Amino acid sequence: QVQLVESGGGLVQAGGSLRLSCAASGRTFSNYAMAWFRQAPGKERDFVAAISWSGGSTYYADSVKGRFTISRDNFKNTVYLQMNSMKFEDTAVYYCAGAPFRRPSQLRNEYDYWGQGTQVTVSS
């Protein structure tokens, strides 16, 4: 099993940047596809970005493409989400998710493990 802990959230002005981190415990992290989802108040949890176990393939929601970058460091058991040119509509709780021995997916139910979430607030 893997436990996921997000960090790096906070308050940022529109146009600014934040980098989220997701630290994973467990020795099989490198076998997991990883993803970031986000959930704004009153809305469903939406896909943001995903990355393959090797880091060689990445996928993004259209709303963040060109602004956000997902990456991973399997030696540090950590996945990152670099968020640039942030917009007010990026405000949400951001969740890290892991899918063992699977390809990256945009579907929530493909992920078995979830972090507790970190709040990101963008002021306009």
Q: What is the pLDDT of residue 38?
A: 98
- Residue found by looking up tokens 């951001």 in the block: 94
Task: Please work out, in degrees rounded to the nearest 5, the angle formed at the alpha carbon of residue 59 by the alpha carbons of 56 and 62.
Answer: 155
Name residue 41's amino acid: P
Q: Containing H/E element for 119?
A: strand 118-123
CB 9 within 8 A of CB 19: no
Name residue 27's amino acid: R
Report residue 34's pLDDT band, with 50, 70 and 90 as the boundaries: very high
Task: Work out the percent of the chain whose per-residue pLDDT is above 90.
Answer: 90
